[in-house]
Amino acid sequence: MKNINKIMNLSAFEAARALQDRSLSAQQYLAACLARIDEREPQVHAFAYLNRDAALARAKALDSGAIQGALHGLTLGIKDVFDTYDMPTQGGSQAFAGYQPVQDAACLAPLRASGMVLLGKTITTELATFPTNGTRNPLNLEHTPGGSSSGSAAAVADGMVSFATGTQTMGSTVRPSGYCGVTGYKPSYNLIPRRGVWANADSCDTVGLVAQDVRDVALLASVMAQYPGLMLSAADQQAPAAPTIGLCRTFEWDRADAHVHAAFEDCARRLSATGAKVVEIKLPEAFRGMLAAQTAVVNFEMGRGFGDVLARHSQSIRKPLLERTLKGLSVSGEDYQRAQTLARHCRQLFPDVLGSCDVLFVPAATGEAPHGQDYSGDPAMNQVWTLMHGPCLSVRGGSGPNGLPLAMQVVGRIDDDARTLRAAHWVHRCLLG
């Protein structure tokens, strides 16, 4: 078998090329993933369920037939709130222990058709909220990987899978990916279908993707969304055009620590020096209320959406989730409608805010991944952009006091995902270099 370390050092994009030309077999690639899981899973705890035998059978079948598609032989970890017909979906909660769906979430069907190996279900915080379930940050096991897509970010960061799915309602794809030093992509709202993905707060819930870099997530997104234009062209990969970038110190700026502030300023200098046109952007005053609005929307929708679970399974739900659900029930319908009205107003303002800029550049987290396992971090730097419904991607912007990543994010206009991915790829290359 090919050298395992050599295989696992390939990006998903590079592995895809080798799998397509048969210089790497699906069985060889899967064996490398499983070897990494066997080595590291006892420490990292990324998986809620590993579908080893089915994955081995799938890889063998792929090697004996024609190339099925762009994702042929690549491996996927699936956040444990996506329905899968051949694996249990338990949402990280005792209330759903052993639950077995009868069909896949809609967004997984094109991945299977494209030749992907669905390797297992990754750990999520309970029902994709806040109570954690033991996943550790593979960059430093004493720190959180973030939530709620904790297992997905950790599995990709530790080389266990090519890709993983996530969801984002507040900051649950971008922030954990940033904490673990990989790329998290929250597409435009509803770009990827949500049928069969467990709801949290319907106005904000978005299917997210996790991979090693922007080129990788663009490849996965192009198949998952059935939108080929998302994949980066050869020119975009080799000599991408420098974007016009809006630098924004948001109304949440003071929640970030001094290390994030310093890293942001350093990123601004590096982006400008590398050829980007950098423009200072100040958000309109209306955006000052967006963090509170997003919190109100999520609490209202989650409180009512989880009401039946609370009524029927309160003994199986952990206390922080019970308290959060009850808090949501206290948000009035009038407050909810005011929050939604403000969100619509800010979405209308945003194209003029960006002006000639291709994307906005803002912090993705308030600091590096917190120490310990019980707190998954502050989502404040993500919440506004989730409610804005546009695309967001995490990129590494430096290192914190413990050597862990300091995450920034590239934010685009609603439904302008292709341009946002191109710009994020340029930013990623610039800051990585």
Interacting residues of 269 by C-beta distance below 8 A, sequence separation 6+? none
Q: Are 393 and 424 in contact (CB under 8 A)?
A: yes
* Catalytic residue from among 25, 93, 114, 148: 148
Instruction: Give the chain's largest Cα–Cα span.
Output: 63
Q: Are 220 and 211 in contact (CB under 8 A)?
A: yes
**C-alpha pair distances (Å), 166 with each of 227, 236, 277:** 19, 26, 32
**C-alpha pair distances (Å), 427 with each of 174, 342, 423:** 16, 30, 6
Q: Which amino acid is at 340?
A: Q
Phi, psi angle pair for 208, to nearest 5°: -115, 160
Q: Is 92 left (phi over 0), alpha (psi -120 to 50) or beta?
A: left
Q: Which amino acid is at 239?
A: A
| SS3 category, 158 | coil
Q: Which two tokens stand for residue 146?
A: 């973030």
* Catalytic residue from among 93, 114, 150, 172: 172
Phi, psi angle pair for 188, to nearest 5°: -55, 145
Phi, psi angle pair for 126, to nearest 5°: -60, 120
Q: Kindly report the CA angle at 290 between 286 and 295, in degrees rounded to 5?
A: 155
79 is annotated as an active-site residue: yes
* Alpha-carbon gap, residue 427 to 243, rounded angstroms: 8
148 is annotated as an active-site residue: yes
2 is annotated as an active-site residue: no
Rounded to the nearest 10 degrees, what angle do helices 52-64 and 26-44 cross at? 160
Q: Which residues are catalytic?
A: 79, 148, 172
